[in-house]
């Protein structure tokens, strides 16, 4: 039996990094709690409604995709569908090529990372700059985000300042205000020189065709105001039936993510710029992305598609707090990542490569407790473990359950084991089955008491009538 690489990664982290992640996550969780309490938010009632809205949409996704496409097209938006990452990158590249766009600015978007769009564009000589401050730092440092809402939760100011210095953004200065001001100035030049803007979308209302973008920094407003072509890459699960339903989700999104009632900017985009407006895109595209989502939709874990990417599950997760986002080796980290990441890769080799992620959980259910769309994540994790086992994912670390099941379904064998276990007390620590050794590395063993309760009962039975 071998120790899980995920556990080793967590242990090998520097104390500083672990502390940054744990502190950031804890602060996010506490901010959420304060926000819900301060406004007396009826969380269970609201999230129940939000869950039903998302699940209803998923259960009728074909109809809503058609409705959304009609609404978008009637507003002058060109709609495309991409079956996979390669197709998505191809579509975006074609759009940019037709505009002869060679400089692009983009907002934070998980799906663009999923398909590795920036990398694809860079290889074709198209500059693609991340404008969200955290993602900008990640891009400069050639790092990966460690949290879906707070990408540089794992970094301290010294690391950021060093990155800025090595990329010519001025001499070393780790004052947060200076870091922010330098990013503002650098990126402003990029916005104004860019030919196109790439965004994701938090929601799309099928009724009105409105894209909803939720941000704090003003980067998405600037990306759109300063450029003439807008391309939005959107997972098919981002649909919501009506504008009113969007409102219900907005009630919970910012509170869950950062403890704000609303993020600073909530943009409702229903097409290219309005008549008479001098700034903004004259052309708009929405690219709906599958990339494994239809597979998830067909599975017994489909509720995971309700996710609105708030990050509350990461913030409360005791395992995420110890391991950080990088331990999840993918775009999606934390409890959501442990389910979605392997599921998007299913079937095949790449699923097996991620099959350890659902095991990296105590199944405590805190994620479910905070989820604004009531996803039963702890149940989905167990289903994923079943799926992994049936797919032949070998786990060197999980004790074999076959032998145990044999004993636990045969009362005589069980009763015999109750007595035999006495040997444990006299076994030296380095002997015995691997799970026992692993346990004894960190824990003092309790005394073996197999059979004691049953004997107690017998004695009592002799004294009392049963």
Partner 1 sequence: MPDDRALVMRRVGAALSSLRSREPLPVHPEDGTGASSVCASAARANPVAAFVTQLASVGGRAFEAPAPLAEWLTARGFLRGYCDREALGALAGAFAPPLSLDTRFMADRIDEYDFGITRAAGAIAETGTIILNDALTSRRLGSLAPWVHVAVLKRSDIVPTVSDAIRALGTDPYVVWCTGPSKTADVEGILIQGVHGPGEQLVLLT
Partner 2 sequence: MTTFDMACRREPAASRHVKLMVTCLCDLFFDDAAAATVEVLEHLGCKVEVPEDQTCCGQPAFNAGDWSAARRVARHTARVFAGDEPVVVPSGSCARMVSHGTLVLFEGEADPREASVAPRAWELCDFIVNGLGVTRWPGRVRARLAWHRSCHSRGTTYGEAALTLLRSIADLRLVEFGEPEQCCGFGGTFSVSFPEISRSVGGLKLDAVMATSPDGVVSGDMGCLMHLDGLARMRGDRALPVLHVAQVLRDALRATKDEG
36-95 residues near partner 2, rule: CB under 8 A: 44, 48, 51-52, 55
Burial of 173 (C-beta count, 10 Å sphere; 0-12/13-18/19+): middle
Task: Report what 366 binds from partner 1, partner 2, none; CB cut-off 5-8 Å by kind.
Answer: partner 2
CB closer to partner 1, 209 vs 334: 209
What is the C-alpha separation between 250 and 244, in angstroms, rounded? Answer: 10
Task: Report what 454 binds from partner 1, partner 2, none; CB cut-off 5-8 Å by kind.
Answer: partner 2
Task: Report what 246 binds from partner 1, partner 2, none; CB cut-off 5-8 Å by kind.
Answer: partner 1
- Confirm if 424 and 450 have CB atoms less than 8 A apart: no
| Residue of the chain from 201, 316, 336, 344 that contacts partner 2 (CB under 8 A) | 316
What is the C-alpha separation between 286 and 198, in angstroms, rounded? Answer: 10
What is the C-alpha separation between 106 and 135, in angstroms, rounded? Answer: 10
328 binds partner 1 (CB under 8 A): no
Applying CB under 8 A, the span of 7-15, 181-189, 396-404, 432-440 interacting with partner 1 comes to 181-189
218 binds partner 1 (CB under 8 A): yes
What is the C-alpha separation between 339 and 356, in angstroms, rounded? Answer: 10
| Residue of the chain from 102, 270, 369, 432 that contacts partner 2 (CB under 8 A) | 369
| Residue of the chain from 85, 117, 196, 252 that contacts partner 1 (CB under 8 A) | 252
- 3-state DSSP call for residue 87? helix
57-116 residues near partner 1, rule: CB under 8 A: 58-62, 65-66, 75, 80-83, 87, 90-91, 94-95
| Residue of the chain from 99, 143, 322, 416 that contacts partner 2 (CB under 8 A) | 322
The nearest distance, CB 461 to partner 1, in angstroms, is 49
Q: What is the dihedral of CA 388, 389, 391, 395, to 10 degrees?
A: 80
Task: Report what 182 binds from partner 2, partner 1, none; CB cut-off 5-8 Å by kind.
Answer: none
Binding mask 371-390 for partner 2 (x = CB under 8 A): ---x-x--x--xxxxxxxx-
Binding mask 187-216 for partner 1 (x = CB under 8 A): xx--xx---------------x-x-----x
Applying CB under 8 A, the span of 10-18, 39-47, 353-361, 393-401 interacting with partner 1 comes to 39-47
The nearest distance, CB 442 to partner 2, in angstroms, is 5
325 binds partner 1 (CB under 8 A): no
CB closer to partner 1, 166 vs 180: 180
> Residues binding partner 1: what is the number (CB under 8 A)?
103
| 103 sits in which H/E element | strand 103-106
Nearest alpha-carbon partner for 324 in 132, 141, 144, 115: 144
- 3-state DSSP call for residue 25? helix
156 binds partner 1 (CB under 8 A): yes
The nearest distance, CB 387 to partner 1, in angstroms, is 16
Q: Around Cβ 72, how many Cβ atoms within 10 Å?
A: 25
399 binds partner 2 (CB under 8 A): yes
Q: Which residues contact 165 (CB under 8 A, 6 or more apart)?
A: 171, 172
258 binds partner 1 (CB under 8 A): yes
CB closer to partner 1, 157 vs 422: 157
CA distance to 39, 225, 267, 310, 313, per residue, from 148 (Å) = 25, 25, 20, 8, 10
8-37 residues near partner 2, rule: CB under 8 A: 8, 10-11, 26
Nearest alpha-carbon partner for 32 in 349, 400, 271, 315: 315
Task: Report what 39 binds from partner 1, partner 2, none; CB cut-off 5-8 Å by kind.
Answer: partner 1
Structure tokens at 167: 């990329």
Largest CA distance in the chain: 95
Segments of 281-427 assigned E as strands: 283-289
What is the C-alpha separation between 268 and 242, in angstroms, rounded? Answer: 13
The nearest distance, CB 268 to partner 2, in angstroms, is 28
What is the C-alpha separation between 302 and 376, in angstroms, rounded? Answer: 11
| Residue of the chain from 208, 295, 299, 397 that contacts partner 2 (CB under 8 A) | 397
23 binds partner 1 (CB under 8 A): yes
The nearest distance, CB 349 to partner 1, in angstroms, is 21
Q: Which residues contact 384 (CB under 8 A, 6 or more apart)?
A: 301, 338, 339, 342, 343, 355, 357, 358
Task: Report what 387 binds from partner 1, partner 2, none; CB cut-off 5-8 Å by kind.
Answer: partner 2
224 binds partner 1 (CB under 8 A): yes
Structure tokens at 455: 């004997």
- Residues pairing with 130 in the sheet: 106
Q: What is the DSSP string of 220-265?
A: HHHHHHH-SEEEEEEEGGGEES-HHHHHHHHHHHHHHHHS-SS-SE
Applying CB under 8 A, the span of 141-149, 164-172, 210-218, 456-464 interacting with partner 2 comes to 456-464
CB closer to partner 1, 360 vs 380: 380
What is the C-alpha separation between 25 and 338, in angstroms, rounded? Answer: 17
């Amino acid at each position: 039996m071998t120790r899980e690489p995920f556990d080793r990664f967590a242990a090998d982290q520097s104390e500083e990094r672990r502390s940054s992640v744990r502190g950031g996550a804890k602060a996010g969780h506490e901010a959420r709690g304060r926000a819900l309490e301060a406004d007396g938010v009826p969380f269970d009632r609201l999230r129940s409604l939000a869950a039903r809205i998302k699940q209803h949409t998923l259960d009728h996704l074909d109809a809503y995709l058609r409705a959304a496409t009609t609404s978008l097209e009637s507003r002058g938006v060109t709609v495309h569908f991409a079956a996979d990452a390669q197709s998505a990158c191809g579509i975006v590249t074609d759009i940019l090529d037709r505009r002869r766009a060679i400089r692009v600015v983009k907002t934070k978007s998980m799906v663009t990372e999923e398909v590795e769009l920036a990398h694809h564009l860079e290889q074709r000589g198209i500059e693609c700059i991340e404008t969200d401050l955290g993602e900008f730092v990640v891009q400069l440092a050639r790092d990966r985000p460690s949290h879906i809402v707070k990408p540089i939760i794992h970094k301290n100011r010294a690391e950021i300042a060093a990155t800025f210095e090595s990329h010519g953004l001025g001499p070393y200065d780790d004052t947060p205000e200076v870091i922010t001001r330098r990013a503002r100035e650098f990126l402003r030049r990029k916005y104004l020189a860019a030919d196109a803007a790439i965004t994701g979308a938090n929601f799309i209302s099928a009724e009105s065709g409105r894209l909803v973008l939720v941000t704090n920094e003003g980067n998405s407003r600037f990306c759109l105001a300063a450029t003439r072509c807008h391309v939005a890459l959107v997972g098919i699960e981002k649909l919501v039936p009506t504008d009113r339903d969007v409102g219900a989700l907005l009630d919970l999104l910012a509170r869950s993510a950062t403890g704000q009632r609303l993020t600073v900017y909530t943009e409702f985009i229903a097409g290219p710029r309005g008549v008479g407006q001098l700034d903004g895109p004259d052309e708009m595209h929405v690219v709906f992305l599958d990339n494994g989502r239809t597979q998830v939709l067909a599975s017994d874990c489909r509720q995971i598609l309700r996710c609105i990417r708030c990050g509350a599950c990461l913030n409360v997760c005791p395992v995420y707090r110890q391991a950080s986002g990088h331990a999840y080796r993918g775009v999606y980290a934390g409890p959501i990542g442990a389910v979605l990441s392997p599921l998007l890769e299913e079937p095949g080799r790449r699923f097996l490569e991620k099959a350890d992620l659902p095991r990296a959980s105590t199944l405590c259910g805190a994620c479910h407790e905070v989820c604004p769309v009531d996803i039963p994540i702890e149940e989905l994790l167990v289903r994923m473990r079943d799926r992994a086992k049936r797919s032949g994912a070998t786990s060197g670390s999980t004790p074999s359950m076959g032998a145990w099941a044999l004993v636990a379904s045969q009362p005589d064998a069980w009763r015999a084991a109750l007595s035999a276990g006495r040997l444990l007390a006299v076994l030296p620590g380095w002997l015995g089955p691997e799970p026992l050794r692993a346990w004894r590395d960190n824990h003092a063993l309790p005394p073996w008491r197999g059979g004691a309760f049953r004997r107690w009962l017998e004695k009592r039975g002799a004294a009392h009538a049963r």
